[in-house]
Amino acid sequence: MTRTNGPLLRGLVLGSGTSQGVPMIGCRCPVCLSPDPRDRRTRASLFVDDGTLPFLIDTATDLRFQCIREGIADVGAVLYTHHHADHILGLDDLRRFCELRQERLPIYGPAITLEILARMFPYAFQEKGGTAGYVRLLSHPVERSFPLGKLIITPLPVPHGRITTFGYLLERDGRKLLAYLSDCQAVPEEILSAIHSVEILMIDGLRDEPHPTHLTSRQAVKVARQADARQTYLTHLTHHKSHRDREADLPAGIGVAFDGLTIVLD
């Protein structure tokens, strides 16, 4: 992805798959054997660049591979949605960005998530010591909107099984540019109000069949209509249906995210 100094906001889907990825280990289903590159889904994450500060939403298990695949050589911050393994286990790959920037990277997210990360990766949060090549992070627990680069970031708490995850709304100059809700089983009314008329909605649409902690594709479509999103993309997808078949079942204005999908907003 080429960075610009202009007013463009670029979002790049690094991963669009569920926790096991697609293809799944040992699976011989038609989707896992599909030659369509859109059916090869790494774990869910997003890269955003507003021309000022490039940042990630989550450090997925596949982060190193995702960054090499997409040519990403600079990350200046990370937003975390929650502490499930598929969204955090690429954290150690941030060491290269710390090394390139020669500075500690700020990370943002729910307080409980940052606490768990500090327990899992204590070396990454040392205030003193460490040398080039080590992960060096600064934690910023999030409770309300905050500035990041040219954007205003608003956390969007949503239920996800027994925990609450954060989605994020990205705004600039009063415009609701992008809402990212990767893991949720419902979208409360106050969150629907916060994202109403958003230009791009990227939302959990796990599969067609019901799931106890994720939205189905039909439920995600309903949320998109309630939010009156200009364009919606389903993400965090399983191997239950191919990309082509998913898209064929969706109404106008709602598509299917895939690894490498680039969204540009001016």
Contact 121, 94 (CB under 8 A): no
Burial track 52-86 (b if 16+ CB lie within 10 A, e otherwise): ebbbbbbbbbbbeebbeebebeebbbbbbbbbbeb
Tens digits of residue pLDDT in 21-47: 999 999 999 999 999 999 999 999 999
Q: Are strands 231-235 and 254-256 parallel, antiparallel or unpaired?
A: parallel
Only one residue has tokens 């060096």, namely 136
pTM: 0.95
Q: What is the pLDDT of residue 54?
A: 98
Q: What is the pLDDT of residue 135?
A: 86
For the record, the structure tokens of 123 come out as: 């070396």
Rounded Cα distance, 12 and 96, in Å: 19
Answer whether CATH 3.60.15.10 is correct for domain 9-259: yes
Domain boundaries, the chain: 9-259
Q: What is the pLDDT of residue 262?
A: 97
Only one residue has tokens 């205003």, namely 152
Say if residue 6's pLDDT is above 80. no
Q: What is the pLDDT of residue 4?
A: 40
Tens digits of residue pLDDT in 43-82: 999 999 999 999 999 999 999 999 999 999 999 999 999 9
